[in-house]
Structure 1
Amino acid sequence: MLADNLNEIKETIKLACARAHRSETEVTLVAVTKSVDSEVAEQLAELGVEDFAENRVDKLLDKKAALKKFSSIKWHLIGNLQRRKVKLVINDIDYFHALDSLRLAEEIQKRAEKAISCFIEVNISAEETKHGLRKEELKDFINQLSSMDKIRVVGLMTMAPLNTDDQKLHEIFSELKNTQNMVKEMNLPFAPCTELSMGMSNDFSIAVEEGATFVRVGRGLFRGA
């Protein structure tokens, strides 16, 4: 079942790339394992998946310890991170997908032993309940990171509202792509902003069509697992 689900998602990514005239090698599938135990996550690693994500610090650390024999795994923290927990996890991750405040960036700078690949979370849909910076705040925020050598802004992240129609999803993801291009044009060495983390189980094919380079899939991978 797990292998079938994985193959189906890979095929969906391939078809979405074809529609957008992109290479499927441009898209990284990030397996969100928050709903499954370490044994199921290990089965996925055995199938060749190398990018794993959790949204809670304790769960990420537990999974990383359980899967330590898979040395090629890259670990993504995708949930909002409390400043008091930065020291517990920041040196155990490869990517952080939810940088959304200067105070959090300062704490990462203080605690990190290496440069952390960060995605800035942008609230493109302007939902009151969502975390993330407004688009108009982004340039000033990025400029404030210039002295922080432990923060590398590799890209932007957004989460589309649930139960949104396809047209609106295209608009949201396209707007994040345009925003990414705006940051790239700033030509900042600490913020190359070449990546886009957007799209989950219910909307990743549309995200890929609009330029996603990282898609975060959980439920779609683990159906029936």
Structure 2
Amino acid sequence: MEQVESRIADACDRSGRPREDVRIIAVTKYSSLENTERVVRLGLRHIGESRWQDAKVKWETIGDEAEWHFIGHLQTNKVKDVVGKCTYIHSLDRPGLADEIHKKAAALGIRQKVFIQLNVSGEETKFGLAPDKLMEFAEHLKGLPGLDVCGLMTMAPYEARAEETRPVFRRLRELRDELNERGILPQPVNELSMGMSNDFEVAVEEGATWIRLGTVLMGKE
């Protein structure tokens, strides 16, 4: 953990950012309940999971000792399991899913924090909205008060040289800024969820506010 902290701090220094601008999501989707509990005790309160069936026992055991982030592809029929339990959903990428999250959040009397997931790299194997559909999608979302659109999310391709991911992260930041300039949504979109174990330093240099770290924190179980 100390080494990860040092690398984040160095990336912040290189880009002229305060360290507190960047928050860590500990990705525990491949980790046991025991290892997840250990991470929470160490002070990493933001926990990322990709499948509700894997997260359920951890959520029931750890509960509000952690803040839960749903970071995987979300099927519409699983919305009922996630909304109201996960503080953040990082994978909003289509109108039908937005409508279902809004409906469930409204029934619970809450506003669900969501990130719009964009497939900036254009890889066929990745989920996410095409960047050129962002503004149209935002127009749809502004009519759904059950959603609190707090940021954009993307996944870069795995590259042997992390530097090669920079254009993907830079483009996500530019898209966020373009969205805010248009003023489509009722409040500014401030957050950028980008960067994983292989490339988080580049993501921080390009403006990441949330980084999703699995192997570099949790090891391989």
TM-score band w.r.t. shorter chain: over 0.9
Residue number in structure 1 paired with 2:143: 147
Specify whether residues 164 and 119 from structure 1 end up closer, same or farther in structure 2 by C-alpha distance, changes over 3 A only.
farther
In the alignment, which residue of structure 2 is the partner of 1:82?
75
Tell me which of 188, 197, 202 is aligned to 2:198.
202
Give yes or no for contact 1:61–1:92 (8 Å, CA) kept in 2.
no
Does structure 1 retain, via aligned residues, the 8 Å contact 2:49–2:72? yes
Unaligned runs of 5+ in 2: none
2:36 aligned counterpart, secondary structure: helix
Task: Please say if 1:97 is aligned against 2:93.
Answer: no
**Which one of 47, 50, 54 corresponds to residue 49 of structure 2?**
54
**Where do 1:168-207 residues align within 5 Å?**
168-207=164-203
Equivalent position of 2:156 in the other structure? 160
Retained in 2: the 8 A contact 1:60–1:77? no
What percent identity do the matched residue pairs reach? 38
| 1:39 to 1:156, Cα distance in 2 relative to 1, 3 A | same
Q: Which residue of 2 aligns with 1:42?
A: 37
Task: Report the equivalent of 1:122.
Answer: 118
- Indicate how the Cα distance of structure 1 residues 55 and 191 shifts in structure 2: closer, same or farther if over 3 A, else same: farther
User: Could you tell me how far apart the structure 1 residues matched to 2:161 and 2:3 are?
Assistant: 22
- Tell me if the contact between 2:40 and 2:65 (Cα under 8 Å) persists in the aligned partners: no
Residues 123 and 135 in structure 1, CA contact (< 8 A), matched pair in contact too: yes
Deviates more, 1:96-105 or 1:58-67: 58-67
- Deviation of 1:189 after TM superposition, in Å, equals 4.9
Residue 164 and residue 183 in structure 1: after superposition, are their counterparts in 2 closer, same or farther (change >3 A)? farther
What amino acid sits opposite 2:12 in the alignment? C
Change in 2 beyond 3 A, CA 1:37/1:148: same
Q: Which amino acid aligns with 2:77?
A: R
Please give the secondary structure, in 1, of the residue aligned with 2:167: helix
Structure 2 residue identity aligned to 1:49: L
**SS of 1:144's equivalent?**
helix
Return the letter of the residue paired with 2:144: M
**Structure-1 residue corresponding to 2:103:** 110
Aligned residues: 218
Structure 1: which 5+ residue stretches go unaligned? 1-5
Structure having the higher helix fraction is 2
Letter in 1 for 2:99: E
Taking the aligned partners of 1:60 and 1:162, their CA distance within structure 2 comes to 25
The one-letter amino acid of 1:93's match is: C
- CA RMSD after TM alignment: 1.4
Contact 1:61 1:89 in 2 (8 A): no
